[in-house]
Structure 1
């Protein structure tokens, strides 16, 4: 659901006003008998002194003060808040402009540097010890998940039991499950083909990815593929959960407060998607509690290994096996495994259907490699198709899964970026979209051009970072890759045909966009996830 930034601001304002009002009432009731003009005067003097001292420290004494950037950004977090919360996810674009003025290393807040040097990315996001900034780690209310874990060593310990399940080899064994779910989606698409109704493509792909990841985690199927409208509210809830991101980053305590409010109040403030999201979170929490209750007999009647039963039998410390922490882990894995890949899949179809010659080139490759639709190739075989691979790479470049800047700290090393020496324990961040849309790395960056990734093309895979890099690289990248390759190939090969017309123009049959264009996929705001033009984003196609 596309909620306006006013919803998030209204929510923050409501909480702030409530908190201030409560504190005011308590203060009046407690101190009304002793309150004097002198007390007020000295209180204001103390507050002003504290503010002045804080700003003085930030501008002149802080280790961040040695780096260039606007003084207002270095003095207060309200500079960030203005561009992201008030203007609606625009700070990334302001940062890009500031880099043009100040250079590759830029101070963007009292305690954060932003680096735009693409060659520094692998230094910052490396296998060496890197911690995460506390504020960003708490952004989604899952601070004990591997996504939220701040300390490098604790992150490694928590991630270790998950790594085998998301390795390339493990995902290969999962292919029959993925193939089965894609076949279910094809069956539903055939029903749409008969009725001539437009297919809500993004919702359909979110249903697919959600069904896959929940089966993988819990041996259960959410059955969203067959649900009415692909249970689109789950997709909208996942997207809507980031609407308040920039407010939460400014006021981290809002997350805890939010969890105390009734669902009905949250729905009125942030829309019905949030209530549904909370229902989904409670559902996952119940799944975790059920797993905790059956940890000793989980090997009975299972189709494949699942994640959370085996985590309970891993070498993790017992405190990391609590229902609360594992629920946070489940929410992170399922949410991340649903929306981002669905966004990439729907984007790929928009780019291709708007570009018949390139779609024709891909179809020729698929028809040659995939002559019998009933015998689809494996993920490994599809990865060897150069043009399909180029299409996926270009899709990931244009539509980064996570748009918000990722932050790292080198706690025990001094880093060098150009002429700048960056001491330990300095928060440094980078936006993937700014690298992916850098015209010096990718000429005509807004153009869908898979040829740039073919042998002899201009693109360097070093600068393609949709899954980030280093020890905190996306856990589910191999699962996402399998879903992208197998879904694109199967859906195109099943429903789409191309041919060359008498005038040499490419004719596309079987699938067409319906009230959809690039405005439905092009990012114009950073709300944690890429956000397209307001009122758009409902990618739809007709089959026939």
Structure 2
């Protein structure tokens, strides 16, 4: 008796089994198709992700996605099938096609899960007709010229951060540099782009008032790969049944800051971020606020994590710290060079970005019409493909001993290493604020080393554990440094 005959006879004998049997048959057929007949079935990977996206959703949710995929690449090679229609690529040679050439492939639909208050943002939108005029309006604010003109104000933010670290060191002997770095990040973004300082470094509480707001958006990354409709239901259920009073309070603080900012920006003549967007006459006020909140979130989270990582690594490597201190001290005279030209400072910043895992997971884009072939592998239109900073930055062939902080690897970096640097993505959809972020990292590292406040510090946590979401979340939300008390030193 054939399978079809068996199904028919079973359903006739037991009518109540009709639906379950048909459903099981369809699922079995779908599984066989995805494993053996799907256009990307030749791409290697474990069995489960070939059959269902649940595998990817699960690892994304629990926060070990980047580590699991990294281990699987070791077993299966540079092309790894991570869901029925998605491939993770551990090869920098895929970057130009996916992200750069002719604007790269379109962003995957899951980016819309990062919409804010029901509005698309410059980051989250997949619609280039929507993004282009908005991005074009604000891009001048991120130029080297604009940042240089505002250098004094940015250094003011950095100096207040250093002063705050000194205060906490003397008062408590321990500093959560993640919180301090986040405070500087929100101050730098607001000062430069909004022309109004959030004053995070002036807050005396143990946690930045905007932190819970930032963490709430970081947590969206748990559900990043969900289909948009399913994500909407999950988000609604989370807010409905698991409200968080602390998060709501932080949201309210940020809302008041942004509302005041937008309300006080004239409709014409203002050169700040909301003012430039207002000139477009395309935005409702609610969307304008959403764009500002998106910038505050992005500018605070990733930059804060990157900067805290650099501080921690300098404490762990006192020989690098002392060499860097000599370099920046030698650069304080009348012949002072641009700090971006200092070789060791540049190497420290770049190496910190390489290992920080601020954004550890893949940046998924969609193969457009016309299909794509990469190194003999065929990807039909609609396939989701992408590279991640984790895979590129921890490639042991390109970066020997990849988990180790070795700034010197950037002194004479190979072309392969340069091409594998992916801290800000690549192409037209790369981080719009990367110039500002880099300037902030250079300034903060320079001034912190000049102050010598890190002298005598040691790290508290042996390892920094993170949830590997689209934006990483540090477990416990602390990266701490500790100094011996004066009484103990005496």
Q: Could you tell me the TM-score, scaled by structure 2's length? A: 0.85
- Map 1:363-402 → 2, pairs under 5 A: 363-371=325-333, 381-402=338-359
Q: CA shift at 1:480, angstroms?
A: 0.6
Say if 2:365 and 2:384, in contact at 8 Å, map to a contact too: yes
Q: CA shift at 1:128, angstroms?
A: 1.7
Paired residues, number:
471
RMSD of aligned alpha carbons: 3.2
Residues 1:173 and 1:155: Cα distance change in structure 2 (over 3 Å): same
Query: Is 2:144 the partner of 1:178?
Result: no
Say if 2:396 and 2:402, in contact at 8 Å, map to a contact too: yes
Q: Which residue of 1 aligns with 2:168?
A: 192
Q: CA shift at 1:73, angstroms?
A: 1.0
Q: Which residue of 2 aligns with 1:136?
A: 111
Q: CA shift at 1:308, angstroms?
A: 1.2
Say if 2:212 and 2:251, in contact at 8 Å, map to a contact too: no
Provide, for residues 499-525 of structure 1, a one-character-per-residue CA deviation record: whole Å limited to 9, x for no partner: xxxxxxxxxx744135244x13xx554
Unpaired segments ≥5 residues, structure 1: 1-37, 300-304, 497-508
Say if 1:224 and 1:230, in contact at 8 Å, map to a contact too: no
Q: CA shift at 1:40, angstroms?
A: 6.1
Q: Which residue of 2 aligns with 1:102?
A: 76
Unpaired segments ≥5 residues, structure 2: 1-13
| Separation (CA, whole Å) in 2 of partners of 1:387 and 1:448 | 13
Query: Which of the residues 256, 278, 302 maps onto 1:312?
Result: 278
41-50 or 351-360, which deviates more: 41-50
Q: Which residue of 2 aligns with 1:8?
A: none
Q: Which residue of 2 aligns with 1:351?
A: 313
Query: Which of the residues 432, 435, 454 maps onto 1:478?
Result: 435
Query: Is 2:448 the partner of 1:491?
Result: yes
Q: Which residue of 2 aligns with 1:246?
A: 222
Residues 1:196 and 1:75: Cα distance change in structure 2 (over 3 Å): closer
Q: Which residue of 2 aligns with 1:326?
A: 288
| Separation (CA, whole Å) in 2 of partners of 1:328 and 1:110 | 34
Q: Which residue of 1 aligns with 2:34?
A: 58
Matched residue of 2:102: which SS? coil
Q: CA shift at 1:165, angstroms?
A: 1.1
Provide, for residues 243-283 of structure 1, a one-character-per-residue CA deviation record: whole Å limited to 9, x for no partner: 35334533644654577579795445xxx553245325533
Query: Which of the residues 279, 297, 316 maps onto 2:252?
Result: 279
| Separation (CA, whole Å) in 1 of partners of 2:264 and 2:479 | 36
| Separation (CA, whole Å) in 2 of partners of 1:188 and 1:98 | 43
| Separation (CA, whole Å) in 1 of partners of 2:354 and 2:461 | 20
Query: Which of the residues 453, 456, 469 maps onto 1:527?
Result: 469
Say if 2:39 and 2:379, in contact at 8 Å, map to a contact too: no
| Separation (CA, whole Å) in 2 of partners of 1:61 and 1:397 | 38
Say if 1:437 and 1:446, in contact at 8 Å, map to a contact too: yes
Query: Which of the residues 81, 89, 99 maps onto 1:125?
Result: 99
Provide, for residues 95-129 of structure 1, a one-character-per-residue CA deviation record: whole Å limited to 9, x for no partner: 23333343322221122111111222232211424
Matched residue of 1:480: which SS? helix
Say if 2:188 and 2:440, in contact at 8 Å, map to a contact too: no
Query: Which of the residues 267, 275, 287 maps onto 1:295?
Result: 267
| Separation (CA, whole Å) in 2 of partners of 1:479 and 1:446 | 26
| Separation (CA, whole Å) in 1 of partners of 2:215 and 2:175 | 19
Provide, for residues 222-261 of structure 1, a one-character-per-residue CA deviation record: whole Å limited to 9, x for no partner: 2211111364353354235433533453364465457757
Q: CA shift at 1:50, angstroms?
A: 5.0
Provide, for residues 419-467 of structure 1, a one-character-per-residue CA deviation record: whole Å limited to 9, x for no partner: 2133333210111111101110000111111111113779732211100
Residues 1:291 and 1:447: Cα distance change in structure 2 (over 3 Å): same
Q: CA shift at 1:348, angstroms?
A: 1.0
Query: Which of the residues 138, 144, 158 maps onto 1:168?
Result: 144
Q: CA shift at 1:148, angstroms?
A: 1.1
Q: CA shift at 1:49, angstroms?
A: 5.3
Provide, for residues 176-227 of structure 1, a one-character-per-residue CA deviation record: whole Å limited to 9, x for no partner: 2101112222333343354354222111121111112123343322221111
188-197 or 109-118, which deviates more: 188-197
143-152 or 278-287, which deviates more: 278-287
Q: Which residue of 1 aligns with 2:124?
A: 148
Matched residue of 2:457: which SS? strand
Matched residue of 2:202: which SS? coil
| Separation (CA, whole Å) in 1 of partners of 2:466 and 2:128 | 33
Q: Which residue of 2 aligns with 1:12?
A: none
| Separation (CA, whole Å) in 1 of partners of 2:238 and 2:361 | 29
| Separation (CA, whole Å) in 2 of partners of 1:187 and 1:79 | 47
